[in-house]
Amino acid sequence: MPFDLEAIRQELPILGSEVYLNTGGTGPLPIPVVRAINEAAEHQLGIARMGPAGVGLTDITMAKLRAATAKLVGGSAADMAITSNTTIGLDVVIWGIDWTPGDHIITLDSEHPGLSVPIATVARRFGLEVTRLTNSQSQVELEEAVRRAMTPRTRLVALSHVTWSGGAVLDIAGAARAARDGGALIVIDGAQAVGSIPVDVHALGVHAYSFPAQKWLLGPEGVGALWISEEARVRVDLTFCAYEAGTNHQPDGTVDMYAGARRYEISTPPLLLVHGWLAGLAWLESIGWDAIHAATAANMAQARDGLRVIPGVTILTPDGPQAGLVVFQIDGREPEAAFSAINKQGVCLRWLNHPPAVRASMAFFCSPSDHERLLSAVRTQGS
């Protein structure tokens, strides 16, 4: 359908009461998502949830979501596992490797705790070495930086596609070439990418890619997806596992594992959330992904250009390939104080500690009025 901004905003009721610029944290819920969750809950009042009809509905719905999420990243449904969030998908890979003390991981020093904490923990538990590339290394010649950091013991390269604290789109394809040449797996945190920019896991050349429902895909919290290639599944064993790992369960715990990525699902899927996410993805697809990505890029560029000319504002988001995040500092203002003051003017964004900055998420649904109110609120902070 044509990109109708007013009609889109009508499906996002929160936009009627405030300027919402924190989609990189959690996106606003569209009416179709809430309606689908409510309808699914009402439907479950009348079925035996663990009877044949209930179990059959769960299997069908989960298969639909695997297919829908695979389409988002250019993959196959057989390579998708439905998770609880981005970090669970990352943990599947990080903890599924058969680590030996002295093995090596390459990551960034600016990663979200959803990636940095699991890496630090597995390193402590197994006696691993970790190289954390700097922010400047990540933005300039990332492929070469990864190559220089590789050692004969490097087993994993773990990076974000879009940095959460800077908004840069990284050269993941280059990093993947370097990782593969050294025999390492590469897993990607796609939390700030899927929904804001096009993603093609095969073109990127990665082994695994994890992303959530609740950010740029405007879905409910508590559900996410992991794409993991057949090649990687040979090297990533099960860590947390249970009933949903396969079929033909035996009293001694043996099971015929599913051939695909479904083996990494644990048990009891959040069926109501799955219905909601499916409805949200269908709504987004009806708008058109090309239109969504183009509008996100245009809103980001407009906000960055507008903020850049405000005295005392320093833009941290680098030039070059961009997603939807604009990270900036205001001279003389602590980020949390600036956030609170801006929020009181009806503009919701986010403040960061590392680096100390404020972050605006410029999603496809932002309006000209949203831009005006953001710039107006920021101007008052420097006065």
Task: Tell me which amino acid residue 134 is.
Answer: T
**Which one of 284, 310, 331 terminates a domain?**
284
Reported as a single tens digit per residue, the pLDDT across 285-343 is 999 999 999 999 999 999 999 999 999 999 999 887 789 999 999 999 999 999 999 99
Q: What is the 3-state secondary structure (H, E, C) of 253-315?
A: CCCEECCCHHHHCCCCCCHHHHHHHHHHHHHHHHHCHHHHHHHHHHHHHHHHHHHHCCCCEEE
Indicate whether 160 and 298 sit together in one domain.
Answer: no
In the numeric block, which tokens belong to residue 304?
Answer: 């960055």
Indicate whether 272 and 330 sit together in one domain.
Answer: no
Q: Which residues contact 52 (CB under 8 A, 6 or more apart)?
A: none
Q: Which residues pair with 315 in a beta bridge?
A: 328
Q: Is the peptide bond before 118 cis (omega within 30 degrees of 0)?
A: no
Indicate whether 295 and 326 sit together in one domain.
Answer: yes
**Which one of 247, 265, 284 terminates a domain?**
284
Indicate whether 129 and 242 sit together in one domain.
Answer: yes
Locate the DSSP E strands across 121-264.
129-133, 154-160, 185-189, 208-212, 224-228, 246-247, 256-257
Provide the pLDDT for residue 46.
84
Query: Which of 59, 93, 94, 113 minimizes the C-alpha distance to 227?
Result: 93
Reported as a single tens digit per residue, the pLDDT across 251-266 is 999 999 999 999 999 8
Residue 172's pLDDT band (boundaries 50, 70, 90)?
very high
Q: Which residue's structure tokens are 């949200």?
A: 280
Provide the sign of the torsion angle of the four alpha carbons 67, 321, 302, 355, taken in this order.
positive
pTM for this entry: 0.96
Indicate whether 264 and 321 sit together in one domain.
Answer: no
Reported as a single tens digit per residue, the pLDDT across 32-45 is 999 999 999 999 88
Residues of the domain holding 372: 5-29+288-381
CATH of the domain at 170: 3.40.640.10
Indicate whether 319 and 368 sit together in one domain.
Answer: yes
Buried residues in 155-168 as b, exposed as e (16+ CB within 10 A): bbbbbbbbbbbbbb
Count the Cβ atoms, other than its own, within 10 Å of residue 347.
22
Would you say 1 and 350 are in contact if contact means Cβ atoms under 8 Å apart? no
Reported as a single tens digit per residue, the pLDDT across 84-138 is 999 999 999 999 999 999 999 999 999 999 999 999 999 999 999 999 999 877 7
How many separate domains does the chain show? 2
**Which one of 248, 263, 284 terminates a domain?**
284
Indicate whether 11 and 153 sit together in one domain.
Answer: no
Would you say 28 and 8 are in contact if contact means Cβ atoms under 8 Å apart? no
Indicate whether 208 and 321 sit together in one domain.
Answer: no
